[in-house]
Amino acid sequence: MVADGSKLVRKLIADVLARELPGVQVVGCASIAEARAALEAGSVDLVTTALSLPDGDGLELARSVREAAGQAYVPVIVVSGDAQQHLVERRFTEFVTDYFDKSLGHDALAEFIRGYVQPQPIVGATVLYIEDSRVVAEATKRMLERQQLKVIHVITAEEAFGLLTAESLGRLPDRIDLILTDVTLKGELSGRDVVERVRIDFAYGKRRLPVLVMTGDSNRHNQSELLKAGANDLVQKPIEERLLVTKVLFQLRVARLDGSRSN
């Protein structure tokens, strides 16, 4: 289901889906009322919605999807030019699975939705994973390695910075493609310190080196500060494998679509 008040936007998203996902059936809806009627007519496998619809808020549509009788839990993705601002301000509700910022372009949108509908591995990509709980680390590593990703696990931020320095000097055999870090870590430095050091000291932009932060902290201010510091996205704990994998693979694909490792 694609819900957007603009017929042009609905067509653009539908065309992207049809091109990238042969056989997909797209139900276009111009309003919340049309979307609710479509939900009553049958179940859907994925929903994208604008934040603003002619008869209400896209977040209300997300609620309607969750409350629809007979509807299994499906991804509800907000597609909007204001998605990043909503994320930083922590205005998304629990009814929204994920978000996509239109500024990334249609190719990135296709990759993003494919990650939910038809995920494809990125063989050989390397994830630097910072987690001080060995139990959590082993479970998360298995999730990522099932996607044919190479995972380098360290316990502290200090160890991670040592590896990043070695990579910058050409002394590491593997290029680090993404950092996944817990927000609380052993040692003096936290996950927020990781984000700040990567963005400021190493001067790596979000496309050059994506950073995902895992957090169990539901405080909206704290979450917002992580995003303002330069985290690409947050992963709520306890970790849901499908969501973690989708977020990791999407960030890797967008970085590769960018075509460079510059800022």
Q: What is the DSSP string of 138-188?
A: HHHHHHHHTTT-EEEEESBHHHHHHHHHHHHTT--SS---EEEEESS-BSS
How does 153-180 read in b/e, with b if 16+ C-beta sit within 10 Å?
Answer: bbbbbebbbebbeebeeeebeeebbbbb
* pTM score of the predicted model: 0.72
Residue 73, pLDDT above cutoff 70: no
Residue 5, pLDDT above cutoff 70: yes
What domains lie within the chain, and their CATH numbers?
A: 2-117 (3.40.50.2300), 126-258 (3.40.50.2300)
pLDDT of res. 263: 42
The 10s digit of each residue's pLDDT in 218-250 is: 777 888 889 889 998 888 888 888 889 888 988
Measure the CA angle with vertex 12, ends 212 and 4; round to 5°: 80
Helix or strand or coil: residue 215?
Answer: strand
How does 225-244 read in b/e, with b if 16+ C-beta sit within 10 Å?
Answer: ebbebbbbbbbeeebeeeeb
Residue 174, pLDDT above cutoff 90: no
Residue with tokens 């998203």: 13
pLDDT of res. 70: 60
Residue 116, pLDDT above cutoff 60: yes
The continuous run of DSSP H or E covering 57 comes out as: strand 56-57
Measure the CA angle with vertex 2, ends 240 and 220; round to 5°: 45
More confident site: 260 or 232? 232
Residue 195, pLDDT above cutoff 50: yes
How much is the mean pLDDT over the chain?
87
Sorting pLDDT into bands at 50, 70 and 90, what band is 260?
Answer: very low
